[in-house]
Structure formats: structure tokens, C-alpha cells
Amino acid sequence: MNRRGLNSTVSFLLVLLTAGTVLRADIKVTAVKGSVYVRHNVQEQWVNVSPGDVLKPDDSMKSGRKSSATVVIDDKTTLTMPEQAIIDMADLRTLTKEELLLKLAMERIRSVPDKSGDDELSIPRTTTIHGANMDRHAAAGVVDPEAGTMRMKGTEFLFGNGFYETGILKAKELFRLYPNLSGRIDDRLMVAKALEVLKLKGEAMEEYIQLGKSQLTDEQRAAVMQKIELLESER
């Protein structure tokens, strides 16, 4: 595909991404233990969160050491946030298969190295779904390893509570913005397994193949190769 075609594809995907399903859930904080904070929308400041607070999809929560918060979504689903984690409220939802595949395609495009030449493709790097602060800081060269670790802890929370689609997208976003996190093999395996759960066998196969190129223990490599062989046999 030529440069014009690629640029058209990028623009089309961006339009579709911004037109996706919007979370409109009522997220109410019912209990707080220790130090827990909320950041509203894309503001920089974190403020204390208290029982009774109602959070919006654009808000993020952060918990300190030995701290946690319990939220109830739409008076139905109760979740308890773990310690030392950052979670975007927009991620507390499920996506359709089509939405997930579209967003995965956009994430792959974002992972392509920037080109500075006039005749080369220049890809927008700003996140349009959520986590805008993350991409803005990363673009400016401001990468906080602690924040990356806390966000990955929040991503593990998403997987643990069945938010596989947003968990996959968040993990891939974090691997891109915080390259050191891509060495966390257990988290990368978590992504591959979630794709299997969602019956996206081709995408799961791709994850396992990439994992096979990483530095693995003998046990991890054996498990990855077994997964690849199993998925190949199911084609």
C-alpha cells in the first residue's frame, strides 16, 4: 500500500475509534481503605476519593500502599481495587469483537516507528480512547516507571475481573509506552491467554510467536511452544 493509502487507512481508523461505544455506567465509590485518589478527566492533579463519590468514564483511580477502594457499577457489579494500582474507569467495560479488533489494528499502527521525512508516513501518536496523559507524557519523553508498573497492576486487575478486551488493549498500550514492561513475560502471557478466551485464535497465535522470540525460561518456552502447536492443530 502506498503512502496515500496508508494515511487514508489511519484517518479512517481514527474516525471509527472515536465513534465507538461510550461507557455511560454509574460508578459509585462505596468504601475506601488507606490512600486512594481520583484524577478527573485529563487533569494532572490527583485528589482524595471518598465513599459516596460518583466517578465518570474519563476519571482514573490510584491507590497507595496497603490501600484499596470498592466501587459499584450500575448498582450491580462490585469491584475492589488493589493496592498500588492505577485504573482508568473507561476500562471497566466489555467490547464487542469488532470493536476490539478495530482497536487492536489501531494499536498496531501506533506501534510503527515515526517517520520524519516528507515522503514517509507520519502516524498520529495521541491516544483517542483513554489514557491521554500517558501518551502525552511519553511523547514529551516523560516516562515514569512507577506509574507504568501501577498501570500494569491495574491491567492485571482488569484481566482478573473478566475485562479481557480492555485489558488486552491496555497491556499493549503499556508495552508500547513503557518498553521495560514488555519484559514481563507473565503479563504478556496474560494477553495471549485472554485472546484465546475471546476465541481470537489468530491473534493469540501471533502473541505466542512473538513471545517465543523473547528470553524465556525452559518452562515458559515449553508452555509457549505447546500453545503454538495446539493453535496450529485447530486451524
Task: Verify that 153 and 191 share a domain, yes or no.
Answer: no
In sequence order, the 6+-apart residues with CB closer than 8 A to the CB of 129 are 17, 20, 90, 103, 169
Are 61 and 30 in the same domain?
yes
Question: Is 170 in the same domain as 235?
Answer: no
The residue from 162, 183, 204 where one domain ends is 183
- Bigger pLDDT: 225 vs 22: 225
Rounded CA-CA distance 115/112 in Å is 9
At 225, the amino acid letter reads M
Q: Which pLDDT score is estimated for 114?
A: 63
Tell me how far apart the alpha carbons of residues 143 and 92 are, in angstroms, rounded to a whole number: 25
Q: 169 CB contacts (<8 Å, ≥6 apart)?
A: 100, 103, 104, 107, 129
Q: Is the pLDDT of residue 67 over 80?
A: yes
Whether 204 and 140 map to the same domain: the answer is no
Range of weakest confidence among 19-28, 106-115, 128-137 = 128-137
Question: How many domains is the chain partitioned into structurally?
Answer: 2
Same domain, 19 and 114: yes
Q: Are residues 149 and 43 in the same domain?
A: yes
- Average pLDDT rounded to a whole number, residues 46-62: 95
Indicate if 174 and 197 belong to the same structural domain: no
Whether 145 and 129 share a structural domain: yes
CA Rg value for the chain: 19
What percent of the chain has a predicted confidence (pLDDT) above 70? 77
Kindly state the average pLDDT of the residues 108-114.
Answer: 80
Are 165 and 107 within 8 A, CB to CB?
no
Check pLDDT > 70 for residue 228: yes
Q: Cα(231)–Cα(234) distance, rounded to whole angstroms? A: 5
Same domain, 175 and 217: no
Please report the pLDDT score of residue 133 as a whole number. Answer: 53
Complete edge-to-edge strand list for the sheet that includes strand 47-48:
47-48, 36-39, 60-63, 86-88
pLDDT digits (tens, 9 = 90+) for 82-108: 999 999 999 999 999 999 999 999 998
Q: Hunting for cell 490510584 — which residue is that?
A: 62
36: pLDDT strictly greater than 50: yes
- Range of 194's domain? 185-235
Task: Provide CB contacts within 8 A for 176, sequence distance 6+.
Answer: 107, 110, 111
Q: How far, in Å, CA of 152 to CA of 138, rounded?
A: 16
Residues 140 and 228 in one domain: no
The answer on pLDDT for 21 being more than 90 is no
List alpha helices for the chain, DSSP H.
3-18, 97-110, 132-139, 145-160, 164-177, 185-197, 201-212, 218-233
Q: Is the pLDDT of residue 233 over 70?
A: yes
pLDDT reported for residue 145:
84
Which of 145, 160, 183 corresponds to the end of one domain? 183
Q: What is the mean pLDDT of residues 204-226?
A: 94
Q: 0.75 exceeded by the pTM?
A: yes
Residues 149 and 215 in one domain: no
Residue 8 has pLDDT above 90, yes or no: no
User: What's the pLDDT tens digit per position in 137-191?
Assistant: 454 445 688 999 999 999 999 999 999 999 999 999 999 999 999 999 999 999 9
82, 197: one domain = no
pLDDT value for 4: 52
CA distances 18 to 13, 21, 42, 131, Å, are 9, 9, 16, 14
